[in-house]
Chain A
């Protein structure tokens, strides 16, 4: 494994009496792709949310190692975690969850704009990413005018445009047919691990997991022994 960029140590998370995570520990390399698999309710989405600083765990640490500094995400307040999600992480959700009234270009540009980047600069970067992901010429289309695969590539561009060190994808191909799913995974891997960035994918799909360099399985909030993909 390359140098560790994100490490979870003994994470516990409870929803009422239900343990969504129990002593979950794992680490992710800087240019590694990790698939988290498991049945519904196994805790995989909760793990992803804890790793990404969306929710804090009840116990345990989530260490982010970047540029020689180590930050415990779990110990940060909501404002700092929010800033981290904006500037250091990227997200791709199952149905893209793009903003329907914005164009493809604006959907991508809004991510750096949130961090204070000037609109013109943000749109230039966004245009480059869209072009790189095969969406040149579709910049001014609104999300409803794109196919599912195209919309998902817009979401990938949005996740990357801020220069995210780690991209989290929650069922990124869940709503797509197998061919489009392959294309989206190609785009996702090409724009992350191939660029030295880490990718964490939550998926039910064994084919998607097989494309990642490593897979962990979850059951009842616990990480099962990891298996290295062939």
Chain B
């Protein structure tokens, strides 16, 4: 009975096709990107010489950096899938369905959509992998053979993505089963204590001092420990104070807003600075890393060039720069997809409101500008703020890069700008959805 009910509720009709397709597309994108990332990492494991271990360590760092935006994207896709069935499940509860049957339907539907999306993602990845295979490492392209995952790994990816959807559905289910009326309550964002930012600034300054004294530590273990604490600690601090900073910025913008779109955007961020942060937090880590490692690679490259280093070292530094650029771009691509998916979910959620605002005479362009602001302001604050914090933490390196290889800093800036542009494109992609919601003709006659 439950599979039949699930099909009744989930089957796409002409009206709901777009809404059903969205989570499927989102899961497809997650899967395709995941396969590309794993394919790239796999290529590094095909090498067996002395340098292989260095490349593999760098691949692990890149994968670690991509985990946050990837899980954010996976979570967004799962939330979108969950949101579109919330109302119908709440109705089922009102009609007397047991929590267990509602739960089973929700999980089954999410799993089915994720499975279809993941399979389509596998197909799409075959379009992506030839491009990935062209990227040169160690002086030659990676090659298609080394980036294509074995069939078993592909099955694992499909099952993994489906599992993420199932877990997200189970976690999101409690609200529906507990509250058949599906009532949503809005709460003020929890306020961070002022001591947090003070401690954060202190940590950054102490880390910056420790980093500048790195060469005096002598022991390689001590240097690695300071580097790990500096990097990991700074990322943790950014995550801790990120929502607080966004709240502060948004409050200032609410006060200063002179136009409806600016007021709406600032209030949109202030409504939940944590959610605004979560949407773009993946870029915090990557921006930090882009400056941190980018400066390091640039200095290394400049020094090895000046000192006539061997070709292997020069190749390694060039490859670090390539790997870093790819990591940053993929990360921003995931954030862009995540933003697109979240925005689509938000527009569907607020379709009635957008339609009513249009009836009041608010042009769709104003609503669109407001929506852009709620994403672009946190994105700029997050990515640029993280880059600045990284520049302070590794000031000796960024200073040296500025002197020895100023062009490398321009390249880092350009890569970050390209990433921000990608996210902007994610917003543009959902603009027609907003326009359709705004101009929708009411169903009742």
Contact = CB atoms under 8 A, between A and B. Distances in A.
A163 B271 CA distance: 30
B360 A144 contact: no
A45 B257 contact: no
A15 B268 CA distance: 36
A32 interface: no
B267 interface: yes
B445 A99 contact: no
A91 interface: yes
B442 A49 contact: yes
Contacts of B2: none
B13 interface: no
B264 A99 contact: yes
Given A40-B444, A87-B361, A101 B260 contact: no
Interface stretch (B34-42, B162-170, B349-357, B423-431): B349-357
Given A49-B442, A119-B263, A99 B186 contact: no
Interface stretch (A67-75, A110-118, A184-192): A110-118
B259 interface: yes
A123 B352 CA distance: 25
B441 A55 contact: yes
B215 interface: no
Interface string B338-362: 0000000000000011001111111
A86 interface: yes
Given A45-B442, A101-B268, A119-B257, A111 B360 contact: yes
Contacts of A30: none
B122 interface: no
A37 to B, nearest CB: 14
Contacts of B260: 110, 113-114
A131 interface: no
Interface string B351-387: 0110011111111001000000000000000000000
A226 interface: no
Given A101-B268, A102-B267, A118-B258, A86 B361 contact: yes
A43 B268 CA distance: 36
A194 to B, nearest CB: 23
Interface in A84-136: 84-87, 89, 91, 93, 97, 99-102, 106, 110-111, 113-114, 118-119
Given A110-B260, A119-B258, A144-B186, A86 B360 contact: yes
A84 B361 contact: yes
B257 A85 contact: no
Contact of B259 (A40, A86, A100, A113): A113
A203 to B, nearest CB: 13
Nearest to B352: A97
A204 to B, nearest CB: 11
A20 interface: yes
Given A99-B264, A142-B186, A114 B361 contact: yes
A91 B362 CA distance: 12
A97 B356 contact: yes
A83 B445 contact: no
Given A106-B267, A113-B259, A83 B361 contact: yes
Given A114-B366, A144-B186, A54 B359 contact: yes
Interface string B249-285: 0000000011110011001101100000000000000
Given A113-B260, A119-B258, A97 B361 contact: no
Interface in A32-57: 40-43, 45-46, 49, 52, 54-55
A72 to B, nearest CB: 18
A91 B363 CA distance: 15
A86 B361 CA distance: 4
A180 interface: no
A74 B253 CA distance: 40
Given A85-B359, A144-B185, A102 B445 contact: no
A84 B264 CA distance: 22
| Best-surrounded residue of B186, B264, B444, B445 (most CB of chain A within 10 A) | B445
Contacts of A113: 259-260, 263
B186 A45 contact: no
Nearest to B266: A101
A142 B270 CA distance: 12
Given A40-B444, A46-B445, A114-B260, A101 B267 contact: yes
Contacts of B185: 144
Nearest to B186: A144
Nearest to A47: B445
Contacts of A20: 445
A45 B359 contact: no
A82 interface: yes
A221 B259 CA distance: 41
Contacts of B263: 102, 106, 110, 113, 119
Nearest to B441: A55
Nearest to B360: A91
Given A43-B445, A119-B263, A85 B361 contact: yes
Given A97-B352, A102-B267, 8 more contacts: A43-B445, A55-B441, A101-B264, A106-B263, A110-B264, A114-B361, A114-B362, A114-B366
Shortest beta-carbon contacts, A-B, top 10: A86-B361, A97-B356, A85-B361, A101-B271, A101-B267, A20-B445, A144-B186, A46-B445, A113-B260, A45-B444
Interface of A: 15, 18, 20, 40-43, 45-46, 49, 52, 54-55, 79, 82-87, 89, 91, 93, 97, 99-102, 106, 110-111, 113-114, 118-119, 142, 144, 158, 221
